[in-house]
Amino acid sequence: MRRRIRALMAAFAALPLALAIAPSAHAADPTTMTSGFYADPDSSPKRWAAANPGDGRAAAIGTSIANTPMARWFGSWSGTIGTATGAYAGAADQRDKLPVLVAYNIYNRDYCGGHSAGGAASPSAYASWIAQFAGGIANRPAVVLLEPDSLGDYGCMTQGQIDERESMLTGALAEFNRQAPNTWVYLDAGNPVWASPATMAQRLHEAGLRQAHGFSLNISNYFTTAENTAYGNAVNSELNARYGYTKPFVVDTSRNGNGSDGQWCNPSGRRIGTPTRLGGGAEMLLWVKTPGESDGNCGVGAGSTAGQFLPEVAYKMIYGY
């Protein structure tokens, strides 16, 4: 607690300078307010390993996956959202750990892909939901990854729908800035093959990136950390050239140990990557997608639903086969 108070005092002391340099950036650094990342005690691999102690795969899954800090995803399944995010951030805060949360409920979610379709019932419903999400975290330290894939695929959307989506994201960032001052929010920027760096820089900027702490890459995908780092740096070059600023970025390394084979939906032969940590080529390397959770009814997850934990897939991902 004393460390947290000192960090807050230092942050407040630096506030005028921070605002002069980057008006939209939070002064507080949640990584200095905590003693490492929070490992979700109720993650799907954790629950499976505890329920199946006699299974020959349980020890490896428990050691290599379940005990690694990873993100918890929040959406329509989360119940009263402010209560859910508040409970999760509060549990992490009690242990002096930094939680990683994913907001995944935007209106017309996965509109073009369809595998994870759903989301809020309307833009106004989303605005209410995300405001409660931020309010639940309040002043606790946290990292939030905002709406994976939302800027990746505009191929089937009208300009009106694109404008609507970008407005929802801009509004979401404003809520976090207003209600969650110790949260770093990363606006999702897809992966290296979805859009060119110039296109993604424009989409990020138009969706309010200046208000965010940074952007996220590779969520639920398989591209190597090196590929993502090169792409993130290229996006920043475009941001700097076009708009005069850059932002830090994070990479989802949960399943990128063997890189991508060009398939995104439950490909075989993938492997877990570098565990959650600060640095490593990006501001953070994070396990965002839980290894072993299905991408949908496809590939080695045929017959499963998106998000379903598949122990055999998790087990093979530990060894890369």
β-strands 284-286, 277-278 pairing:
antiparallel
Single-letter residue type at 217: L
Q: What is the pLDDT of residues 93-120, one digit of tens each?
A: 999 999 999 999 999 998 787 667 789 9
**CA dist., res. 222 & res. 170, Å (int):** 28
Q: What is the pLDDT of residues 142-187, one digit of tens each?
A: 999 999 999 998 989 999 999 999 999 999 999 999 999 999 999 9
User: In terms of C-beta distances under 8 Å and separation of at least 24 residues, what long-range contacts does 7-15 make, across chains too?
Assistant: 7/32, 7/33, 8/33
| Token digits of residue 25 | 């950036």
| Token digits of residue 6 | 């000192």
Q: Above 60 in pLDDT, residue 12? A: no
CB atoms near residue 243 (< 10 Å): 14
pTM here?
Answer: 0.91
Catalytic entry in 93, 149, 188, 252: 149
The alpha carbons of the chain give a radius of gyration, in whole angstroms, of 19
- Is 55 an active-site residue? no
Q: What is the predicted pLDDT for the residue at 18? A: 33
| Cα angle for residues 26, 28, 29 (degrees, 5° grid) | 105
- Is 252 an active-site residue? no
The percentage of the chain sitting over the pLDDT mark of 70, rounded to a whole number, equals 91
Catalytic entry in 40, 93, 110, 252: 110
Catalytic entry in 40, 93, 252, 295: 295
**CA dist., res. 169 & res. 166, Å (int):** 5
Single-letter residue type at 231: Y
- Is 295 an active-site residue? yes
Q: Above 90 in pLDDT, residue 65? A: yes
**CA dist., res. 210 & res. 124, Å (int):** 23
